[in-house]
Structure 1
Amino acid sequence: MGLKLLRRGQFWYLRGSVCGTHVYRSTKLENRRLADALRVRTEREIAEEHAFGVSATKTFADAAEAYLASGGSGRFLEPLLSRLGKSRLNAITQNDLDAAARELSPNAQPETRNRQCYTPFVAVWNEAVLNDWARSRKWRRPRKPKGTRVVRSVARTGTAPVEYDRAATFVATMSPAPAMLMTALFYTGLRPIELFALEAPDIDIAKRWLVVRSSKIGEPRGVPLHWFLAEWLGPLVTRGGIVFRTHKGQPYPPTQGGGGQLKSAITGARSRSGIMDISPYTARHSVSTQLVVNGIHPHIKDQILGHAVDDMSRRYTNVPQRPMIEAIDTLPVPDAWRGLPWVADPLKWVNRLVEGTGRRTDLERDVSGG
């Protein structure tokens, strides 16, 4: 029968059936020539889907739209869409991805190209896999050549690990609310945006497990809960809602872009501690490095940090994994960190400020018993 164009108000509509699929929808086009071109394309896509399956017609743009609808981040996606948006998923190759990355970031370092091109592409691809539009596959990412050293003129904080004693000294100079958040980052390896969105039902203190519902790779994942966090997180979980909040009780805005939500707290801690090389992302690098130093198997380390995307890891998102819990427990806890006053009663301290910031509610232990 095929599809026909019908005028309804200002727009042209498609109506008819192709290969048993009935269609009646607006083209959202006023121009008949453009509407007719859409009619021809729609007929072809329906016929191909009927013959070869839906995966034969889905494009990278379709997958990106689904990824954004499921709560994925649009950061860095626009350039990729301009380069690969019209490409059918089943036709995209490793060479196509590499060529797009070179074109979009011709002068970037491998790690920058990985972050701005490969990571958002893989997140969209994983969404397509979940929708059965594409097959699961391992995409090769850029690596820094072995034996080379790239000297940067300006070092950027957050790109290198620090010792946990140093991190403890830094966190000790922060107000309790941001100190709690930074502590959680150093003992989970989560990305800041993942921690900002964490809600009480996502954490099971007894089972030492938490679930990130929407991660950077576009899939939920399970994360082990370090014993130190299990010691004091309980009251924040019992409170309900968003777990980590500002001293005013407001959620941290879940914005991509790297810790701007903690800028004032980080700046103040640098001034008070004299430590200038710590930012929210420092925690993730520190967790990764410390796990390697502790002899943790790379596969377990990657699962903890959310790098692993194998089917088995996704299938058991909500199931606590004993090897992962044992691995995260190898992260050291300096006495100075465990001895911070808010650890004993986080809800009592969460609205206080460190000396010199706002109200004078200094971080000294309350000896009055009040």
Structure 2
Amino acid sequence: MPLKLYKRGKVWWISGSVHGQAVRESARTEQKEVAEAIRIKKEAELVSDAVFGPKATRTFAQAVDSYWKAGGDKRYTGSMYDDGTKDGLLGHFYDTPLKDIKQDDLDEVARTIYPTALPETRNRQCYTPFIAVWNHAVRNGWAEMRLWSRPKKPKGTNVVRLAKRRAGTFPVDYEHAAKFIAAMSPGPATLMTALFYTGMRPIEIFALDAAEVNVAGRWITLTKTKTGEPRGIPMHEFLVPIFESLLKRNSLAEDPRLFRTPQGEPYGTIVTDEEGKGGGGLKTAINGARRRSGIKDIAPYTGRHSCSTGLVVAGVHPHIKDQILGHAADDMSRHYTNVPQAPLIEAINKLPVPELWRSLPWMDNPLEWSGRFAEGMGKRNDLERQKA
């Protein structure tokens, strides 16, 4: 008989038999429309199995789901998110029938996901989880046993190894950065924007006090730095409306730190330039933007490296660049820490501002938008421009 829906408590269940295949399972939803869609899909799968056999119809996503339910390791198989996006192996092979996946497909996916990784890394983080899912499918009768080739470690003493560059240890183009910032929630996006247009270290901007910002003079005076020495930083004209907005925060009397998380909390001070670690409270925002944008090479320290390179490309004198970044520490630069210097302000304004960055909706009022979240975050998605 066809599959039927029935309710058990608040959750819908599916029950019935199709071509001799009995089903009794939870749809895992309280919404009848969703349960009905699941029922229809399940029934179609059973019909296909009966006509063509499961080896002809099972997809990689179905194999992964079964593997997870059996207790398989989820670490490198990829993930499904609430906004419908997928990553890793699951993102690449999702609806692909198992029968259609060949060795060349697996090799190409490994190169795509881990383009600069060593063979042993690709083997551990791509081939091993894929083969584990495949072997599980074989045990279920969904796929044929196959001997998959793994990447081989280069042999010989003359092999040159290219180490993977960690995000945050090299600069990126500002157009590229703009696409990443556009995928962030306004709060962390505002902070990252300041990093790209001041060259400050993340730990310095986390501790930035309202009293250290002189918008009229286009100048920032840092009293808390990595070296312990105070220094002055010119303010790019693009940052003026950002700082003007943040300086209106009502809670500055209790805590003068300008930059806050979307929840209104100050950022932490644990920072690293290693991908996926630390970030002073930015880790979640960084990882979310990587997932939504597909851009993996940006981290909190990327702004400092990009600012330095951008000044060089713009033809800024090395001494001026070093003063902006805090590399120069002669007695004269310390003496003028609190005094806005026209050459430095002129230099910082040579950094390019992509139109995409300028047109981000939160630029109109960063403080008002600071508690909102980026697209793709479920019910908290409220980043669309409000209609006048």
Which residue of the other structure, out of 311, 318, 326, is the alignment partner of 2:346?
326
Which residue of the other structure, out of 291, 296, 302, is the alignment partner of 2:311?
291
2:186 and 2:369 in contact (8 A); partners too: yes
Question: Gaps spanning 5+ residues in structure 2: where?
Answer: 1-159, 274-278
Secondary structure of 1:354's counterpart equals coil
The residue that corresponds to 2:85 in the other structure is none
Counterpart residue type for residue 323 of structure 2: Q
Measured in 2, the distance between the counterparts of 1:235 and 1:359 equals 26
Counterpart residue type for residue 280 of structure 1: P
The residue that corresponds to 2:241 in the other structure is 231
Which residue of the other structure, out of 268, 282, 293, is the alignment partner of 1:273?
293
- Is 1:220 the counterpart of 2:251? The answer is no
Structure 1 residue 260, shift from structure 2 partner: 4.3
Structure-to-structure mapping, 1:1-370, within 5 angstroms: 152-239=162-249, 240=252, 241-258=256-273, 259-357=279-377, 359-367=379-387, 369=388
Measured in 2, the distance between the counterparts of 1:238 and 1:364 equals 23
Question: Which protein shows a greater Rg?
Answer: 2
Structure 1 residue 212, shift from structure 2 partner: 1.1
1:178 and 1:246 in contact (8 A); partners too: yes
Secondary structure of 1:238's counterpart equals coil
TM-score w.r.t. the length of structure 2 is 0.55
Distance 1:256 1:280, change over 3 A: closer
The share of aligned pairs that are identical, in percent, is: 59
Question: Gaps spanning 5+ residues in structure 1: where?
Answer: 1-149
2:206 and 2:268 in contact (8 A); partners too: yes
Post-superposition Cα deviations, 1:140-186, rounded to whole Å, max 9, x if no partner, equal: xxxxxxxxxx9542221111111101000000000000000000000
TM-score w.r.t. the length of structure 1 is 0.57
2:292 and 2:376 in contact (8 A); partners too: no
Structure 1 residue 255, shift from structure 2 partner: 2.4
Measured in 1, the distance between the counterparts of 2:172 and 2:335 equals 33
Measured in 1, the distance between the counterparts of 2:361 and 2:230 equals 34
Measured in 2, the distance between the counterparts of 1:231 and 1:281 equals 23
Counterpart residue type for residue 265 of structure 2: Q
1:200 and 1:238 in contact (8 A); partners too: no
Counterpart residue type for residue 337 of structure 1: W
Measured in 2, the distance between the counterparts of 1:304 and 1:206 equals 18
Distance 1:256 1:360, change over 3 A: closer
Distance 1:320 1:335, change over 3 A: same
Structure 1 residue 349, shift from structure 2 partner: 0.6
Structure 1 residue 345, shift from structure 2 partner: 1.1
1:177 and 1:246 in contact (8 A); partners too: yes
Aligned residues: 219
Secondary structure of 2:220's counterpart equals strand
Measured in 1, the distance between the counterparts of 2:297 and 2:384 equals 26
Distance 1:215 1:152, change over 3 A: farther
Measured in 1, the distance between the counterparts of 2:296 and 2:214 equals 34
Post-superposition Cα deviations, 1:60-112, rounded to whole Å, max 9, x if no partner, equal: xxxxxxxxxxxxxxxxxxxxxxxxxxxxxxxxxxxxxxxxxxxxxxxxxxxxx
Measured in 1, the distance between the counterparts of 2:244 and 2:280 equals 27
Secondary structure of 1:182's counterpart equals helix
Measured in 1, the distance between the counterparts of 2:272 and 2:376 equals 28
Counterpart residue type for residue 309 of structure 2: T
Distance 1:212 1:359, change over 3 A: farther
